[in-house]
Structure 1
Amino acid sequence: MPQLGKINPAFFKKVIYPRLGVKDVSVLVKPQSGVDFGVVVLGRQVMALSCDPFYIARELGIEKAAWFAVHILASDVAVSGIRPRYLAVDLNLPLGMAEEELVLMWKVVHSECKKLGIAVVTGHTARYAGCNYPFVGGATMFGVGSRKKLIIPRSRVGDAIIVSKGPAIETTGLMVAYFPGFLKEKYGESVLIAAQAVYYQMSTVKDAMITASVGGVTAMHDATEGGVFGGLYEMARHSNVGMRIYQDDIILPGAVEKTCACFGIDPYISISEGTLLVTVRQKKAEGVVAALKNEGIPASIAGEVVPEKEGLFILIKGRRKRLEYPKVDPFWIKFEEYLNKK
């Protein structure tokens, strides 16, 4: 197990995957490393669902934190091709949370759910000793839709790899929200403002719905812990394929590059909620990129899926490097380091 962050695929395969309770034929997609959601068959329709901690980082401000909490959950369902529709939320609130904070948080949750077309259907709300920020509970997001719209992730040899927005979107959004002074001191006010604007890019709901509408998509994945390279590694291992990834073709926004340089973080293996990783049939790849750009979302074709025997490689300025799963996401290490410097 890692000291911090999400468990690695090997641990998941050894400990979690063999112990999934009773087998049920209605479970179409069960827990798998590299897959953000599960799927249950409901007659002619399917239900895609995903769960996560309900993450409220008080330092961000309650409104921004609540926006992020909803979009983390919704993004993991959206990558199934099924629009998020229902939310169940368990709030285990810290004793230090004031009533006005809870009221404001819930107003934002309600507002964002309305914008996304999501209904809150059940939950639990209480204050308990031993609970603390930022993990103030957990939640499950559900989507129900036609089986024809469901994208069961299975990357295929010959697919193009598409990356939206670029790496380290979440890393940038959170580091500058918590530690703005360090970035301002090194690069100035204008870079800080640009980096702060990245925060509201930390969602793949819009990216995924646009991408799915084009067609030809074989897999979508939200690049969370482990970043772009960790996410692509998970996709490849899940589908038993190789990948050839062109790092120089992955969009790297200037504000992201400077933020990562400031804090000493490798952007390509750092947490990146908001970055959508896609494999798609080659004939549809340009159409996906164009559709995203038409909606103001930068994206690029950054590689191709190859036979598994050809391996997983990153090409950087003509040099070839083997792709390995990040042992620890550097965001967590640097986040803790800079918390101690504040």
Structure 2
Amino acid sequence: MKVGKVPTEILEEVIFKNIQHKRPEVLVRPGIGEDCAVVDFGENVCVMSTDPITGAIKDIGSLSIHVTCNDIASNGVEPLGVMMTILAPVGTTKEDLNYVMQEANKAAASINVEIIGGHSEITDAVNRMVITTTAIGRQKKSDLVTSKGAKIGDSIIMTKHAGLEGTAILAADLEERLEKSISHEVIETAKGFAKKISVVKEGVLAGAVGVSSMHDVTEGGLLGALWELGEASDVGIEVYEEKIPVAPETLEICEVLSIDPFKLISSGVMIMAVSQDKENLLLETFEKNKIEAAVIGRIVEGEKVILRGGIKKVLEAPEADELYKVI
């Protein structure tokens, strides 16, 4: 198999098929496009998600916190704690670990999350640091939002701009290579995108407004996330390429590296389906809170497609992220 997420058909055939024992307390189980597990605790539910950071080198401590907390936010809930597992290669120094933990602590504090436990070890099983985090949140059962709730006629809204996280990673990790073709100012601006990777604020705000469905955009990029949302809700997707916000820095970096910004890892971007009668309220809420947002499509019957210059192209299940073509 290729580097990156296990293909969806293998997830269904091998991973999900072999999870057979069920407990009645589990309300949301593993599924395509589903970000979190949800466990019934009476009036409240416990929302949990876990993610590794494997495609980045710099800022790995900060990314490890934000990526998994973003999953919790996609359920419309504020994360409260994170457990962290650090697998570091032979040769890692005390200073290396100190830097990672300082960055993780800074990121956690910025979204009011506590690092509540985990594990760390030096191992020859990895050739660079790998961090896996598990985030936990608590929510009223009646307020639960999942990826499965999108309804025909809903508008599709995305926050920020496509390829956000991937642009920041590429600018930081491939800086020397990019400097041959791109100005220092563009690279520095692109590296600054790392400060926008949390979607906790917009996830909680959208949950309060009452959206039908949410999904944060990670590996596979925006198009992959749209396909997953449609798959989870068993609906069609119609998205308009000209309405998708993309930063000029992302376009320039992707052009130099010959990769597709719409298929580039995009933590920091949230997509959501919202009924048309709540669309304006949601956009006004985002604007009031200084969160960039745009309507990029709608939920329809039938196929999942993107319209490019009036021509329909069918969205496909996400494959290896564009990031892995160059890192």
The TM-score range, normalised by the shorter chain, is over 0.9
Partner of 1:304: 298
Asked if the contact 1:169/1:273 (under 8 Å) is kept, the reply is yes
- 1:236 Cα deviation (Å)? 0.6
Q: How big is the alpha-carbon RMSD for the aligned residues of Structure 1 and Structure 2?
A: 1.8
Indicate conservation of the 8 Å contact 2:45/2:140, yes or no: yes
Aligned to 1:195: 190
Q: Specify the code of the residue in structure 2 equivalent to 1:114.
A: A
Greater mean deviation of Cα atoms: 38-47 or 286-295:
286-295
The amino acid across from 2:326 in the alignment is K
- 1:214-225 to 2 correspondence within 5 Å? 214-215=209-210, 217-225=211-219
Determine if the alignment matches structure 1 residue 118 to structure 2 residue 109. no
Contact 1:173 1:196 in 2 (8 A): yes
- Find the aligned partners of 1:221 and 1:265 in 2 and give their Cα distance: 23
Q: Of residues 107, 113, 118 in structure 1, which corresponds to 2:102?
A: 107
TM-aligned CA distance change 1:236 to 1:182, over 3 Å: same
Distance 1:46 1:101, change over 3 A: same
Q: 1:198 to 1:306 in 2, by over 3 A?
A: same
Q: Retained in 2: the 8 A contact 1:55–1:69?
A: no
**Alignment partner, residue 320 of structure 1:** 312
How far did 1:277 drift? 1.0
1:247 CA displacement = 0.9
Query: Which residue of the other structure, out of 109, 120, 126, is the alignment partner of 1:131?
Result: 126
Q: Deviations over 1:25-46 (max 9, x none)?
A: 1000001110111100011100
User: In the alignment, is the contact (CA less than 8 A) between 2:53 and 2:63 conserved in 1?
Assistant: no
Residue 338 of structure 1 is matched in structure 2 by none
Deviations 1:55-76 (A, max 9, x none): 5944x2xxx3211111011111
Distance 1:133 1:206, change over 3 A: farther
1 CA distance for matches of 2:249 and 2:115? 36
Q: Does 1:45 align with 2:40?
A: no
Alignment pair present for 1:186 and 2:181: yes
1:148-227 correspondence to structure 2 within 5 Å: 148-153=142-147, 154-215=149-210, 217-227=211-221
Consecutive unaligned residues of structure 1, counting only runs of 5 or more, are: 336-342
TM-score, scaled relative to structure 1: 0.89
TM-score w.r.t. structure 2 length? 0.93
The aligned counterpart of 2:273 is 279
The sequence identity of aligned pairs, in percent, is 27
Query: Which amino acid is 1:86 matched to?
Result: G
The change in CA–CA distance for 1:114 and 1:77 in structure 2 (over 3 A counts) is same
Whole-angstrom distance in 2 between the partners of 1:182 and 1:189: 12
AA paired with 1:71? Answer: H
